[in-house]
Each structure stands twice: as C-alpha cells, then as structure tokens.
Structure 1
Amino acid sequence: MARNPERRAALLDAAIEVLADEGARGLTFRAVDARAGVPTGTSSNYFTDRDQLLSQVGDRIFVRLTPEPGSVDTAMRPEPSRELVVELMRWLARRLAAERTCYLGLFELRLEATRRPELRDQLTKVLRHDLDLNIRLHLEGRMPGDADTVRLLYFALTGLLFDHFTVPGLHDDRELDDLIETVVRRIVPAD
C-alpha cells in the first residue's frame, strides 16, 4: 500500500469531488484517478477497497470542515446573546458554503451509510462528537438556551443548507442570512 500522504490527500479530495458531482454510485477508483489526473490504478494502490475509500473520504471531509485552530475561540469572544448565536450560525453557514463540495459529499456519504453499517457507525461517531462539542461550547459559553436549543439549531441549519445547496431556488425570496436569523430568533430564547 502506497504511503505518500500528499498523494493520498489529493486522491481523497478528488474522491470528494466525484462523490459530490456523481453520487456514491459514481465513486469508483477509475473516476477518482481521472478526477485527480493520475494514472489509472493509482487509487487502488492507496485504498484496499471501496469501503476503505468511503471511510477515508469521510475522515477527509471532517478534516476539511474543521475550523482553523483558535477561530472558534475568537468567534465566541463577544458577550453571549441571541445576536451572537445569529452571527455564529451565519459564520458556520459561510464556512460550509465555502466547502460546498465537502458538504454535498457528506450528504452523499450519509445516504450511502444507510446501506453500509460500518460507514454509518463511523459517521454517527464523528457527527455525535461534533454535536456534543457544539453543545458543550454553547453551554460553557453561557449562550441562551440549553442542549436542545443546540440540537434544534443543528437540525435547522442542516435542512437550510441542504435546500440551499440542492434546490437553491426554493427560498428565492429569502437570503440565507435572513433565514438563519429567523431560525435563531424562533429557537433561541431571548437574552
């Protein structure tokens, strides 16, 4: 098995693009090699099978979606308030929109996980860790609301971004920032 970490990352990034553009059924070693611009057969030197590729694509997506060190602390500096939650949700939405391909790839992985128990277990573990971290940061930051507030915000933002990325004309009369503000004002208790 090949051990060039830069090449592995490039192959995984290409796999994310294939996943986002063609779905899980289009994710083949040949498609990844073509997207990465490497000779046919290169991916099979890095991944033993498609399941391993899917698993490592999931890991790579979460690496790319993880904020830069210190950026969360910086974002949480202002006084806790519902307005700060609005700004944090907008910041998160902008970050995810900047990684649109990763986010679409994650949607595809989630669908594929309904058919692959190992992938489902991996995604559940990572998403649960992320949600637990968000709940902890919210509570420790003395933001208005409780753990269920964070869960509802998670559900709302996931749905908003799913619509935004897959059927962008659905809410054509409303900007994403405005929808986020409405969601936060309806879910997060007043200061």
Structure 2
Amino acid sequence: MAGNPERRRALLDAAIDVLAHEGARGLTFRAVDARAGVPAGTASNYFSSRDDLLTQAGSRIHVRMTPPPEQVDTAMRPEPRRELVAELMKWLVRRMAEERTGYLALLELRLEATRRPALQAELNRAVREELDRNIRFHLDAGLPGDAGTVLALYLAMNGLLLEHLTLPGVLPAAELDRTVDALVERIVPETRTDPDR
C-alpha cells in the first residue's frame, strides 16, 4: 500500500464526496480517482479493497466533523448553564450544515454498515468513542445534566440533523434555532444558581 499521507487524505475526502453525491453504490476506486483528480488506479494503491476504503472513509468523516480545539475553547467561555448548551447545539447544527457532504456521507456509511460487519464495527467504535468523549466533555465542563442528558441530546440532535439535511422542507432553517431551544429546554435540567436550594 502506498504511504503518502496527504494523498491518502485527499483520496478519503474524494471518497466522502462520492458517498455524499452518488451513494455507497457509486463508491468505486475509479470514481474516487476521478473525484480526486488523480490517475486511474491510484486509489487501489492506497486501499486494499472497497471495504477498506469504506472503513477508512468512516474514520476520516469523524476527523472532518470534529471542531478545532481553539473553536471549542472559544465556545466554552460563557458560564456553563442551560443557555450555553442551547448555543452549543445551535453551533453543532451550523457546523453540520457547513459539513453537509460529510454528514450525508456518514448516513450512506451507516446504511452500508447494515450489510458490512467490518464497517459496522468501525462505525460502532468511532461513534461510541465520540459519544463517550462528548459525555466526558459535558461533565468536565460542569454543564447541567448527566450522561443521560448527553445521550438524549445526541439522539435528539441526530434526528433534527437528519430532517434538516435530508428533507429541508420539513424543518425550515428559520425554525431551527427555536427547535433547538425547545429540545434543550425539555432535555437539559435548569441550571441552579443557588447551591443551597
């Protein structure tokens, strides 16, 4: 297997684009080579099989969708209250809308994972790690709620993003912030300002 990390990333990004625009059935080495603008046969030098390409694309999507630490630091400057959780969830929606291709590719991979045990194992690992990381982050930051709160937010936001990014007419963009506020209000306990209460 070829070892140029920049070329490998470019091929994986091309694979993500192919997944988002053509679906899992359209993901071939030839399609990835064409999308990446490289000579035919390049992708097959970097990935041992289509399954290998799918699995590595799944890992790459999570890297692309993770915000840089400095953006997280900036977002966490306000006091850790329910209102901050709502702002973080709105930020998540904006980030996913900006990374729509990656999100749609991930949906394609999730569907494909129902038929490919190795891909399912990789996505289970990656998504569970991300969920555990989010739970630790929430608790360490002193945000209101517990691990169950984070799980409920995760499930609610996945549903919201699925609707918004696949059927935007169901949940118009103008309603997104209000919907996020309503979800957070129902899921996240109110912040207690008086420790003696």
> Does TM, normalized by the shorter one, top 0.5?
yes
Q: Which residue of 1 aligns with 2:96?
A: 96
User: Pairwise mapping of residues 87-166 of structure 1 onto structure 2 (< 5 A)?
Assistant: 87-166=87-166
SS at match of 1:70: helix
Matches within 5 A, 1:6-155: 6-155=6-155
Closer, same or farther: CA 173–158 of 1 in aligned 2, 3 Å: closer
Q: 1:87 to 1:121 in 2, by over 3 A?
A: same
Structure 1 residues 93 and 172: CA distance shift in structure 2, 3 A:
closer
Deviation of 1:46 (Å)? 1.0
Q: Is the 8 A contact 2:164 2:172 kept in 1?
A: no
Q: Which region of structure 1 is more displaced relative to structure 2, 170-179 or 38-47?
A: 170-179
Look up the equivalent residue of 2:148 and give its one-letter code: D
Which residue in 2 is equivalent to 1:181?
Answer: 181
TM-score (norm 2): 0.92
Moved more, 9-18 or 132-141: 132-141
What fraction of aligned residue pairs are identical, expressed as a percent? Answer: 65
* One-letter amino acid matched to 1:62: H
Distance (Å, rounded) in 2 between the aligned partners of 1:172 and 1:77: 30
4+ residue stretches of structure 1 with deviation over 4 A? none
TM-score by length of 1: 0.95
The Cα shift of 1:174 comes to: 4.7
Tell me the distance in 1 between the aligned counterparts of 2:171 and 2:162.
12
Deviations 1:26-67 (A, max 9, x none): 101111111112222111111111011011101111111111
CA deviations over 1:82-113 (Å, ceiling 9, x no partner):
10000011111111111110111111111111
Structure 2 portions without partners, runs of 5+: 192-197
- The count of aligned residue pairs is 191
The amino acid of 1:149's aligned partner reads T
Give the secondary-structure state (helix, strand or coil) at the position aligned to 2:171: coil
